[in-house]
Every structure is written in structure tokens, then in C-alpha cells.
């Protein structure tokens, strides 16, 4: 088991955002957590990354208890986060942004080799290597945020609302990329998304989150075909009703 979360609770002051959530991610899986805006998805990722403290519960990564481990040590241990809306360092160059992803690593990586691989994966980043990140388009900044997380050769990639603010064509591209990283490289990915259809289509398993609690879980294909999920999250009920009339 790569990631095991038990009875996780996260609060902001007196407001509880996550209520006793349980879930697991096996090594090599692509798992989604879907839910509406405000359901607590981002809070879960922030808790896993150590950016907000867990009020209660347990987080185990590769068999080790990390609930109280600081965020930088979780990053050094192989957990990396792709935050929503990219959040690159706007005044740093593309190259400098990439280097921040390797800062402080304890394990040795072939930095030049990783950069060559990332430039093959994202050619626009090599083309704009010396430009400030703030000059990139939204889609290009999203590519940079993914590349920055990948440069460290992580064991677990946490991806937060990767489709937010992107044009439909770019949404398809980034989901294709995540699927390729998982399928072809075996990278373990935990994806949280409002775009339920796109995330379920590329995932092995999924959890449905409502107001901070998991209300349903199972194979992604089963959830994709579940009438309740289709009605609540996929916007398909009206389309199917129209076809029957």
C-alpha cells in the first residue's frame, strides 16, 4: 500500500472541512476524488502534503506514519503536489521554476537527464526556457507546474483541479498526459477534480466526496455508469431524458 488514510479530519478554525475520511492508493494506481466545489477535495490534498495539519486521523505513506511530518520532508520523501491554477513563480524563468522542484532533494537524481526528458514531454518549456513564467499562457503554466513536480522523480503525484480555467482542448491534453504518465511510466497519481467525467475516464478507482465525507467509492468505470453519479456530477440526466422523448 503506497498511501493509506484513516479517519482524516481537517479543520480551519471551528469549521470542519474534512470529516473522518478513509481511502487508499495502491502503487501504480491512478485514483480520483470527485465532488462539487467546496466538498473538501483540496483540503484533503493540502492535508496529505502537510500544508494544513490534520485535526485527527492517520496518514501512512509507504508504510510510514507521516501525519505529523512537515511538508518539506514529505516532499523529500517522494510526495509532490501540482496545485490548482498552476501557481508558478511568476517572476522566475521557466528554467528557474523547474529547478525549484529539485531544491533540497536528498536522493540523487540525474538533473540534466530529467530536464531533457521534461523538454521532450513539454517542448514549449524548452522553447521558453528563459522567459518569466508570468509570460506563459494558462495552459503553458499548467504544463510548467506539472513539470516542476515531475523533475524530482516523485513516488506519488497529487494533482489539484488540473482542468480549472483551461480551454476544453487543453483539458483533454492534460488528462491524456496524466493517463500516459500513469500507464506508461507507472507513476502513482491521486487526482481531485470537479470535472468528474474526464477524471473517471482515466482512473482505476474513485471516491465521491460530499461536504467533507466519502459517500461512495468503487471502480471508476462503475461510478461512470452509476445513474446517481451521472445525474449529480456528469450532467447527463437531461441529455438522456431528451433522447428518450
Residue with cell 494506481: 29
> In 10 A of CB 69, how many CB atoms?
16
Domain match, 62 and 95 both: no
CATH of the domain at 185: 3.40.50.300
Q: How confident is the model at residue 238 (pLDDT cuts 50, 70, 90)?
A: very low
Mean pLDDT score, 161-190? 90
Task: Indicate whether 74 belongs to any domain.
Answer: yes
The pLDDT > 90 percentage for the chain reads 75
The domain of 197 spans: 3-78+154-244
74-130 pLDDT, tens digit per residue, is 998 999 999 987 789 999 999 999 999 987 676 677 889 999 999 999 999 999 999
| Closest to 23 in 3D by CA, of 1, 49, 55, 56 | 1
> Distance of alpha carbon 11 from its chain centroid, rounded?
21
Domain match, 176 and 202 both: yes
Domain match, 28 and 53 both: yes
Sign of the dihedral through C-alpha 143, 145, 149, 151: positive
Domain match, 160 and 73 both: yes
3-state secondary structure of 205: strand
| Whole-number pLDDT of residue 234 | 77
Task: Indicate whether 178 belongs to any domain.
Answer: yes
Rounded-to-integer distance, Cα 131 and Cα 4, Å: 40
Q: Is the pLDDT reported for residue 18 higher than 90?
A: yes
Mean pLDDT score, 30-44? 94
| Whole-number pLDDT of residue 242 | 42
Rounded-to-integer distance, Cα 227 and Cα 235, Å: 11
| Whole-number pLDDT of residue 138 | 85
| Closest to 82 in 3D by CA, of 134, 28, 25, 145 | 145
The residue among 117, 132, 152 that closes a domain is 152
Task: Indicate whether 83 belongs to any domain.
Answer: no
Domain match, 74 and 168 both: yes
Task: Indicate whether 85 belongs to any domain.
Answer: no
Rounded-to-integer distance, Cα 165 and Cα 153, Å: 27
Task: Indicate whether 230 belongs to any domain.
Answer: yes
Amino acid at each position: 500500500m503506497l498511501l493509506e488514510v484513516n479517519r482524516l479530519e481537517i479543520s480551519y478554525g471551528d469549521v470542519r472541512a474534512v470529516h473522518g475520511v478513509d481511502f487508499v492508493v495502491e502503487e501504480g494506481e491512478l485514483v480520483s476524488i470527485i465532488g462539487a466545489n467546496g466538498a473538501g477535495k483540496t483540503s484533503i490534498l493540502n492535508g496529505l502534503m502537510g500544508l494544513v495539519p490534520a485535526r485527527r486521523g492517520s496518514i501512512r505513506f509507504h508504510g510510514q506514519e507521516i501525519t505529523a511530518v512537515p511538508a518539506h520532508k514529505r516532499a523529500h520523501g517522494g510526495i509532490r503536489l501540482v496545485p490548482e491554477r498552476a501557481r508558478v513563480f511568476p517572476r522566475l524563468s521557466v528554467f528557474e521554476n523547474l529547478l525549484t522542484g529539485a531544491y533540497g532533494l536528498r536522493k540523487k537524481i540525474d538533473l540534466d537527464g530529467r530536464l531533457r526528458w521534461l523538454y521532450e514531454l513539454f517542448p514549449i518549456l524548452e522553447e521558453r526556457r528563459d522567459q518569466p513564467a508570468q509570460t506563459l499562457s494558462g495552459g503553458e503554466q499548467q504544463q510548467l507546474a506539472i513539470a516542476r513536480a515531475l523533475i524530482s522523480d516523485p513516488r506519488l503525484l497529487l494533482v489539484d483541479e488540473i482542468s480549472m480555467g483551461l480551454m476544453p482542448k487543453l483539458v483533454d491534453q492534460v488528462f491524456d498526459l496524466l493517463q500516459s504518465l500513469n500507464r506508461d511510466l507507472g507513476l502513482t497519481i491521486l487526482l481531485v477534480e470537479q470535472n468528474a467525467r474526464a477524471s473517471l475516464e482515466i482512473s482505476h478507482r474513485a471516491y465521491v466526496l460530499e461536504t467533507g465525507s466519502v459517500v461512495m467509492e468503487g471502480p471508476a468505470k462503475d461510478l461512470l455508469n452509476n445513474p446517481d453519479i451521472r445525474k449529480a456530477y456528469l450532467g447527463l440526466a437531461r441529455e438522456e431524458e431528451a433522447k428518450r422523448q
